Structures are given as structure tokens and as C-alpha cells.
């Protein structure tokens, strides 16, 4: 019971009991499903698409259920974390690879995986690295230009299939045609640029020159190719093309196209050689 003297009395002494907490980096992290071996995660996610392995009572139409499961993998499971994104994307690429290659023009070449584009075996972290460092690494890092086009094709096809099961009146549109008419040939040539001599093209700009300068060697990460029915134009961008950041771009050379993509790449090499030997000005046209 309170009285005036007890209210005015000083509070009882407070003793701080120190509790020793481990350093955040030393604290044991809770392991989730993403810590399982990659092949196990791949098997689990593959089972989500298998109607016999994981039967459902919610759908009466097997085709609609198949399409909606693919959509769930594409839109839902890929967004869990980096490992789920890589494994889910690997499954989707395997499913749609044959369909993608069937659209390539007979006189064009294709390589959706020009170099290593998915690193499934990288460690989640090291004692000297923070989790934020690993999470900040883009899942698109190291992806080839045609690999990006292939992923775009997968996104278009998954969306088309979903709309088709929702309504038989759904139309496919021109997205697929645009991919193989414009994007795939340009992306293939951009990947082939890395086959040119190193005094013309290097993968990335030098560390002491983050912004590409007018001169050789040109960083392939900052180059793009635009195709018209007659000409192929090589552009140098101020920002990496894969970053999607807007910036300035400058025409390096314009060459006349020939039948194959490899042949057009060779014409670009000849044009760069003419610029290198000062036979053609920077941004010039080579017949």
C-alpha cells in the first residue's frame, strides 16, 4: 500500500546484470531449406511440377494444373532466395530449351549458354564477409547476352500458356516473333564479340578505368549491337549493358551485314581493325 513517504522515497537500487551475447557473425544461424545440397533442392522443386509425385485435389483439368504449377515455380518459388532462383531457373531452362531452339532461323546460330551463367556452388558467406555482400550480388551476374534472351522467351511462354488455359480466346501476340527477329541475332553477335582478338575486345574495362573510353580494347560488358536489314551497328555504352541503367552511348562502327551471324561478327572485326589502323574514323561506316 502506498503512502506519501513511500512515494517520495528514492527508487530501489538497480543492478545491471550483464548477459554475454555472441558476436552477430559468431551467432549460429538458423539453417533453412536453402542450406540443403543443390541436387536435393533441385529434386524438391522438380517434384512440385510432377502431378503424380505431388497430387492435388484442387484442379480437375491436368493441363491447367500443369501450367499453373509452372507459373507458381516461375513467379513464386524463384523469389524465395538466391538458391531457389538459380535452381528454379535451371529447371525452367531445361523445360523450354528445345522449344527455344526450334524458333532459331536455319541460317542463324544459337548458344543460349555461351559461358558459365549460374553459380550454384558458391558459398553463402565466409567469416570475413557479411550476408549483405552475398545478397547484393545480382543473380544475373555472369549471364550471357543470349542467355538473357532465352530467359525472356521463358517469361513470355509461361505467361502465354497461363493466359491460354484461362481463356481459349487468348492470343499469343508478337512477343515471340520479336525475340527471334531482333533480340536473338543481336545477342548472339554480342556474345561472339568475345571471340575477337583481345586487342579489340576484352570482357570488362580495366580496374583503373571504370568508365569506358574511346579507344581499344573495348569492354564487351559495355557493348551492344543493333541490327537493321542491311547494317550492323556496334555501340559503346557508359554503363554495363546488363545493368539496365540508362546512360549515354556512342556509335563505334557500322558494317554491312552478311548472311550468317558469325560472318557479320567477322565484318565487325574488320571494321574495328580499320579503326585501329586509322583507315576509318571512330563511328564510321565500313562497306
Average pLDDT over residues 200-206: 91
Q: What is the pLDDT of residue 117?
A: 46
Closest by alpha carbon to 113, among 90, 95, 139, 79? 90
Answer yes or no: do 131 and 220 share one domain.
no
Please report whether residue 48 resides in a domain. yes
Q: What does DSSP say about strands 249-256 and 284-286: parallel, antiparallel, or unpaired?
A: parallel
Highest mean pLDDT (candidates 28-42, 59-73, 205-219): 59-73
pLDDT confidence tier of residue 121, bands split at 50, 70 and 90: very low
Please report whether residue 251 resides in a domain. yes
Max distance between CA atoms of the chain, in angstroms, equals 103
Local structure of 223: helix, strand or coil: strand
Please report whether residue 17 resides in a domain. no
Please report whether residue 229 resides in a domain. yes
Average pLDDT over residues 180-203: 96
Answer yes or no: do 107 and 214 share one domain.
no
Please report whether residue 207 resides in a domain. yes
Answer yes or no: do 243 and 286 share one domain.
yes
Answer yes or no: do 214 and 287 share one domain.
yes
List the domain range (segments joined by +) for residue 176: 33-184
Answer yes or no: do 50 and 128 share one domain.
yes
Highest mean pLDDT (candidates 26-35, 84-93, 237-246): 84-93
Domain boundary among 184, 205, 227: 184
pLDDT in tens, 228-282: 999 999 999 999 998 888 889 999 999 999 989 999 999 999 999 999 999 999 9
As for how many domains the chain has, the answer is: 2
Q: What is the pLDDT of residue 132?
A: 54
C-alpha cell at 172: 499469343
- From the CB of residue 223, how many other CB atoms can be counted at a distance below 10 Å? 23
CA atoms within 13 A on the CB side of 182: 8
Average pLDDT over residues 162-186: 89
Q: What is the pLDDT of residue 31?
A: 78
Answer yes or no: do 170 and 136 share one domain.
yes
Answer yes or no: do 54 and 168 share one domain.
yes
Answer yes or no: do 49 and 168 share one domain.
yes
Q: What is the pLDDT of residue 208?
A: 64
- Could you tell me the pTM of the whole model? 0.82
Q: What is the DSSP string of 226-267?
A: EE-SSEEEEEEESS-GGG-----EEEEEEEE--SSHHHHHHH
Domain boundary among 184, 211, 228: 184
Q: What is the pLDDT of residue 62?
A: 87
109 bridge partner residues: none
Domain boundary among 184, 214, 240: 184
Pairwise pLDDT comparison (75 vs 61), residue with the higher score: 75
For residue 46, pLDDT beyond 60: yes
Please report whether residue 158 resides in a domain. yes
Please report whether residue 122 resides in a domain. yes
Answer yes or no: do 147 and 280 share one domain.
no
Answer yes or no: do 204 and 145 share one domain.
no
Answer yes or no: do 149 and 282 share one domain.
no
Q: Assign 3-class secondary structure to 139-206.
A: CCCCCCHHHHHHHHHHHHHHHHHHHHHHCCCCCCCCHHHHHHHHHHHHHHHHHHHHHCCCCCEECCCC
Q: What is the pLDDT of residue 22?
A: 55
Answer yes or no: do 171 and 227 share one domain.
no
Q: How far apart are CA 106 and CA 104, in angstroms?
A: 6
Please report whether residue 12 resides in a domain. no
Amino acid at each position: 500500500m502506498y503512502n506519501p513517504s513511500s512515494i517520495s522515497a528514492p527508487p530501489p537500487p538497480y543492478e545491471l546484470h550483464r548477459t554475454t551475447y555472441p558476436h552477430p557473425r559468431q551467432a549460429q544461424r538458423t539453417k533453412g531449406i536453402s542450406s540443403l545440397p543443390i541436387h536435393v533442392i533441385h529434386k524438391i522443386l522438380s517434384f512440385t511440377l510432377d502431378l503424380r509425385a505431388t497430387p492435388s485435389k484442387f484442379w480437375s483439368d491436368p493441363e491447367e494444373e500443369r501450367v499453373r504449377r509452372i507459373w507458381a515455380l516461375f513467379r513464386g518459388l524463384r523469389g524465395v532466395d538466391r538458391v531457389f532462383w538459380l535452381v528454379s531457373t535451371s529447371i525452367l531452362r531445361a523445360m523450354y530449351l528445345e522449344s527455344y531452339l526450334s524458333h532459331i532461323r536455319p541460317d542463324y546460330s544459337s548458344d543460349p549458354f555461351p559461358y558459365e551463367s549460374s553459380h550454384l556452388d558458391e558459398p553463402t558467406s565466409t567469416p570475413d564477409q557479411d550476408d549483405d555482400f552475398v545478397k547484393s550480388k545480382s543473380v544475373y551476374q555472369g549471364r550471357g547476352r543470349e542467355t538473357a534472351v532465352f530467359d525472356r522467351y521463358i517469361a513470355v511462354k509461361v505467361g502465354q500458356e497461363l493466359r491460354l488455359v484461362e481463356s481459349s480466346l487468348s492470343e499469343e501476340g508478337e512477343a515471340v516473333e520479336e525475340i527471334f527477329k531482333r533480340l536473338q541475332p543481336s545477342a548472339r553477335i554480342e556474345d561472339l564479340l568475345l571471340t575477337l582478338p583481345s586487342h579489340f575486345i576484352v570482357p570488362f574495362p580495366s580496374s583503373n578505368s571504370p568508365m569506358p573510353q574511346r579507344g581499344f580494347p573495348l569492354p564487351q560488358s559495355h557493348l551492344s549491337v543493333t541490327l537493321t536489314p542491311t547494317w550492323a551497328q556496334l555501340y559503346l555504352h557508359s554503363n554495363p549493358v546488363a545493368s539496365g541503367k540508362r546512360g549515354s552511348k556512342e556509335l563505334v562502327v557500322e558494317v554491312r551485314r552478311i548472311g550468317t551471324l558469325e560472318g557479320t561478327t567477322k565484318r565487325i572485326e574488320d571494321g574495328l581493325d580499320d579503326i585501329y589502323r586509322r583507315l576509318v574514323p571512330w563511328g564510321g561506316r565500313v562497306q
